[in-house]
Every structure is written in structure tokens, then in C-alpha cells.
Amino acid sequence: MSDDNNHKFKPDPELKLMDQVKQVLRYHHYSYRTEKIYCDWIIRLLKFFNYKIHPKDMGKNEIEKFLSYLATEKKISAATQQQAISAIQFLFKEVIQNPICNIQYIKAKKRNSIPVVMSVDEVKSLLSQLTGHNLLLAKFLYGSGLRLREAIRLRVKDLDFDNEQILIYDGKGKKNRITVFPTSLQKDMAFQIQKVKQIHANDIEDGCGSVWLPDALERKYPNASVDIQWQFLFPSEKTSIDPRTGIKRRHHIHESSIQKAVKNAAQKIRINKRVSCHTFRHCFATHLLENGAHIRQVQKLMGHANIKTTEIYLHVIDTKINVKSPLDNLN
């Protein structure tokens, strides 16, 4: 065993496997969302072998069989398979502390589909069906190119009114970026911040005004959790108990609220497209390019590491057929 392994955090051997997994995840300050995802994949691995094989007794063959099954039988996407791999690698490297390398498995197929994009008129129609925080969030998704998870996690401090920009911390791939803050949203967001301040003041009176912060920030700024600047821009209607700490807090709203609202709105106006919250982000990029924005600028606003990801939206524009059918000439 290497010196690195000798100095690694070791889970309590008296704990059950899944409790050991949680202990190590929390020691390394993984997010609660990642904890849930990793635990789910590890349970699926155990279930695949009918809970008859402990991971410490598994080798390359078992892991390869499971990952290949996900691709061939469950037909999961390449991104989902990579998520499973990350969880399994964590289990063997950090919990079992016996890394499994050079695994050979059937890889899931990458889906190179062209993004669904609404026209400007369709966006207007859909937004007209939304109200309240669902409307505000949808405008953010379309007006700033935010991912849904990025939008609901925004905090008061992340809006820069003077420079008309939004600061996104710890986005996809743990990257920070800056995107545009629509001028037309500033008045509404100033009002939203006033609402947040009132909710926060009431929570302080009730003794539960602290908001969740990443562990590193909480250690560096111990009083930040009760500072208005760190409160979520879109707080949930009710307080809840933090499952890790047992502290009563007000989290941000759940994704399902706006997801359901957008789906219902699309059905009402009968858009014959598969519309979701992420469609607004596709529209943001496509409409910017159609209006003459440089692709490098769009790449930066979208937070794409690779320009090829942004170039997909050029294909969307190219698929629009700007020719007149000969049938129309008969009239």
C-alpha cells in the first residue's frame, strides 16, 4: 500500500457500507446532491448482483459487467454512464481504498441530437402563460442562458445591477462564469430582493435565518449564513430541516415547480416541440447567434469549455430552410 493510502481518511469499519460511503463523502465536503447520486449508483451496483457480493470482493469483471449492462440493456446516455463510473470509482478508491483501473466495458452511445429551439414568438407565448417566480425564473433562463439549477441557486449577491451582469459560481464542471443580466429584468429583481429581505427578517425572528453554505465558505465566513447577501433569490415557501445537520433552514425552491409550470404552459399554447426549462437556454444561444453575436462570446456566456459544444447552435440555424417550395408558386 502506498504512503498516500496510509494518510487517507478511513471510514469507520463498524459502520454499514452505505454509512461508510456517506461518512467519506461528507469528510471530503461533497454536496448533498452528489451524495444522493453516488449512493443511488452504488445501491444499483449492489442490487445488480442481488446484494450477494460485497464491493470489497468485486473486481474488474463485476464492474465491467455492470457498466456494459447499463449501456446495452438500460440504454442510458453516455453522460449517465459517466456518472455511474464516477460513483463506482469513488467507492473503490475512497471507501474500499482499492482502486480498480483499466476497466473495459461497452460504452453508451453519445446522442448527437440537434437542440430543440423555439421561435421568438413561441417564447413570448410561453412566457405569457407563466406568473410569479415561475415567470421570473423562465425569463432568467431565456435572458441569461442559465441552466435551471444555476438559476434556482442564485443568491442576492450574485446580481450585479451596475454592470448588468450575473455571477455564476460553481456551475457545471465546478466553473465560475459571468453572463448578461437583462435590463428588462432589473426592476422585477429589485422587487424580488425586497421580498427576500422580508422573508429573511421573519426567519431571523423565528430563529431560523441561516442559509446553507458550502463547508469551505462556512468555515471562512462563519456569519455569512445569516447575511442577506447570501440568501437565495428564489427561496422556498417553507423552511425545512437540513438532512445533514438537523438545522432548520429555508432552502431555494425546488426544480419541479417551474418544470411543471413550463410543461403545462407549452401544452396550453400547443407548441409542437419537446419543450423543457433547458429549451430556454438553447433559445438564448441560438437567438444571440441569429442576431449577430460572435460564437466565442456566446461560448463564454454559456460556459462551454469546448467551442464545438457551442457550434451545435450553428447547426440549428443551418437547418432552417430559406427557400420557397415550388408548390407555392402554383397559387
User: Catalytic site residues?
Assistant: 147, 172, 278, 281, 304, 313
**How far, in Å, are 76, 80, 109, 141, 302 from residue 114 at the CA level?**
18, 19, 15, 19, 17
Q: Under a CB-based contact definition with an 8 Å cutoff, are residues 253 and 133 in contact?
A: yes
Residues 6+ apart with CB under 8 A from 19: 12
CB atoms under 10 Å from CB of 177, counted, come to 17
Three-state SS at 199? helix
- Separation of alpha carbons 37 and 16, rounded Å: 18
Residues 6+ apart with CB under 8 A from 220: none
Residues 6+ apart with CB under 8 A from 195: none
Residues 6+ apart with CB under 8 A from 269: 122, 125, 126, 129
